[in-house]
Amino acid sequence: MLAGIYWLSSFSQKENHSVSSKIEKVTVFLQGAQVERIAKQSLAAGKYNLVFSDISPKIDKQSIQLKAEGKLTVLSVTHQINYLKEQQVQDEIKQIETQNEQWLEKIALEKNMKNVYSQEEQMILKNQSIKGDATLRAAELKEAADFQRQRLTEVYQKLQENDRNLKKMDLELQKINKQLIELNQKKDLSTSEVIVAVDVKEITVGNFRLTYLVKQSSWFPTYDVRVQDISKPINLQMKANINQQSGEDWKDVKLFLSTGNPNENGTKPTLTPWYLRYYYPAAANQIRIRGISSLYGSTAGLDINNSISGIVRNEKGEPVPGATIIVKGTKAATSTDAGGSFNIQMPAGANTLVVSSVGYTAQELTATSGYANVFLKENKQSLSEVVVTALGVSIDESGGYYYDDKAFKRKKEETAINTTTVYQPTTTIFEIDDPYSVPNDGKLYTVDINNYELNALYEYYSVPKLDASAYLTAKIIDWQELNLLPGEANLFFEGTFLGNSLLDVMNAGDTLNLSLGKDKGVIVQRKLMKEFSSKKFLGSNKTDSRQYEILVRKKKQQAMRIIIEDQFPVYTNKEIELE
């Protein structure tokens, strides 16, 4: 039968029967883990307590669940801390401290004996010289020399034996000190027990399944991103880093990794009434976006969070869907919807937006809270002039790019652990098919979860004014099906480790953008052209003309697409004119 759980503040004094249980399954969340124990016990008729011992002391008492099968009734379930193990460890510490003192005494005695033999050596050496007019017979001299030789030999042997003994004692003492450090570092050495009061109607075999949530356990993902060259797909390997200090070892258990977090609040949000009131708008601000007027209204799109709303259109007045809006100098970004509309929050201190879209010239505008009509000029340069060739990315006759129907495929490594991905309504669970062990030591244990080959559109990006390097980036579509989580990515390009990046899937749109680091095979230079630069003084006016040249060189055979960004100065004084 299936027994429920009843929490009681106390239970009657009954005979205790110990139950041996084993951890069968562990589900590790982003924070915390659910442990599932099983037990099978022959039970006699009567009322008594079943004690499930050696359980983690760091459990959430409200999460304890017990399922019982057999001819019995569960009367109550309680939890208590068992400090006996902690006392046992304290006793072990005392025993080791006693051993430590004994070894120290032995070492001190051995050092004293070494001093005795050293003093005897000095005494014998001093008595070797014959002083005064003393004349010794040959037999007496031989006898004295033999004595000194024999005794010195014995002394030197004793000194060597002392050195050997001291080295052995020092090694033993080091081992004892390491053991003491290990035991003293443990802050909570106790265990806990779950006590189940049962009423067994007749002799039966009870099958029990005990589950509970433990703290100080977690996992987080990391990734290895490998690019052989820009003509091949990306290899993305997802890894799980598991650690736990729950107070119990997980040995050869069925391990599940869940993207859920039981510590999060699961209550759905509730909207409160939104009241409209009259207020007087501020004066409208007229701004200019590189020669194109854009009017900010003072009411539409304005809220207390300093956000900007607007529509991006082309020169024909048609909305531009999918345009990218970035707050310059920050990570804040968004894109326009099917009608060309957007809304973006302005971080404190930022006042410049960069609006761009494929086939149009990027525009910058100085922005304040309000509503903006942004017009993009068509880029006259044909897209077919720049060619990127990559597996899974094809070029049509108009010069555009499209992806193959299958944007990714799962790749299985022969040496990797088998995993199964299970999708649930609110979470995703990665099931490790083989039994797995995670000791209670707080160390990270890494498991390969998935390995994918991803079709990508490669693109280089460079700002030579700030950094004379070309950064390789990759754009991936249909990435949502991979069920990725935010995490650190290790970058490998052409077999070389380039460093780390962040896989920011929380702020990604339909296309996932990866920064793959610097490519030493692409060189970008920005030089001031002195012959075209000059300074002139006309009365009190000064004219300063400058011209820069940006050179790009590559050491690769493949065609590539590169975006170069530079900037024009912004004048802040009406007496300064800028062309």
Mean pLDDT of 146-157: 81
pLDDT of residue 102: 84
pLDDT at 253 over 90: yes
Local confidence band at 413 (pLDDT 50, 70, 90 cut-offs): low
Q: For the chain, what is the total number of helices (H) and then of strands (E)?
A: 2, 35
3-state secondary structure of 236: strand
Q: Which residue has the higher pLDDT, 194 or 58?
A: 194
Local confidence band at 250 (pLDDT 50, 70, 90 cut-offs): very high
Q: Quick check: 428 and 449 in contact, CB under 8 A?
A: no
Cα–Cα distance, 156 to 98 (Å, whole number): 33
pLDDT at 46 over 50: yes
Mean pLDDT of 381-398: 35
Give the Cα-Cα-Cα angle 363, 367, 372 (nearest 5 degrees): 75
Q: Which single residue is written with the structure tokens 């042997």?
A: 157
Cα–Cα distance, 148 to 141 (Å, whole number): 11
Instruction: Answer positive or negative: Cα dihedral of 202, 204, 207, 213.
Output: positive
pLDDT at 258 over 80: yes
Q: Which residue has the higher pLDDT, 578 or 197?
A: 197
Q: Quick check: 107 and 173 in contact, CB under 8 A?
A: yes
pLDDT in tens, 266-300: 778 888 888 887 765 544 333 333 333 333 333 33
Instruction: Answer positive or negative: Cα dihedral of 511, 514, 519, 521.
Output: negative
State the number of CA atoms in the 13 A half-sphere of 275 facing the CB: 3
pLDDT of residue 468: 87
Q: By mean pLDDT, which of 75-89, 321-335, 336-350, 398-412 is the weakest?
A: 398-412
Q: Residue 36 is inside which H or E element, if any? A: strand 33-43
Cα–Cα distance, 48 to 67 (Å, whole number): 17
Q: Quick check: 538 and 210 in contact, CB under 8 A?
A: no
Cα–Cα distance, 255 to 240 (Å, whole number): 12
pLDDT of residue 301: 36
pLDDT at 530 over 50: yes
pLDDT in tens, 71-84: 999 998 888 877 65
Q: Which single residue is written with the structure tokens 């030591």?
A: 441
Mean pLDDT of 295-310: 49
Please provide the average confidence, as pLDDT, over all residues in the chain: 77
Cα–Cα distance, 460 to 562 (Å, whole number): 4
pLDDT of residue 189: 55
Cα–Cα distance, 363 to 377 (Å, whole number): 9
Q: By mean pLDDT, which of 109-113, 393-397, 459-463 is the weakest?
A: 393-397
pLDDT at 182 over 80: no
Q: How many CB atoms lie within 10 A of CB 89?
A: 15
* DSSP for residue 161: H
Q: Quick check: 30 and 219 in contact, CB under 8 A?
A: yes
Nearest of 421, 45, 39 to residue 194 by alpha carbon: 39
What percent of the chain is predicted at pLDDT more than 90? 15
Cα–Cα distance, 196 to 210 (Å, whole number): 11
Q: At what angle do helices 84-126 and 138-185 cross, to 10 degrees?
A: 160
Local confidence band at 241 (pLDDT 50, 70, 90 cut-offs): very high
Cα–Cα distance, 404 to 391 (Å, whole number): 9
Q: Which residue has the higher pLDDT, 548 or 389?
A: 548
Q: By mean pLDDT, which of 157-161, 213-217, 419-423, 506-510 is the weakest?
A: 419-423
Q: Quick check: 545 and 530 in contact, CB under 8 A?
A: no
Q: Quick check: 336 and 313 in contact, CB under 8 A?
A: no
**pTM assigned to the model:** 0.54
Superfamily of domain 285-376: Carboxypeptidase-like, regulatory domain (2.60.40.1120)
pLDDT of residue 455: 86
pLDDT of residue 34: 94
CA torsion, points 445, 451, 457, 462, in degrees to nearest 10? Answer: 20
pLDDT of residue 311: 87
Cα–Cα distance, 324 to 188 (Å, whole number): 53
pLDDT of residue 539: 73
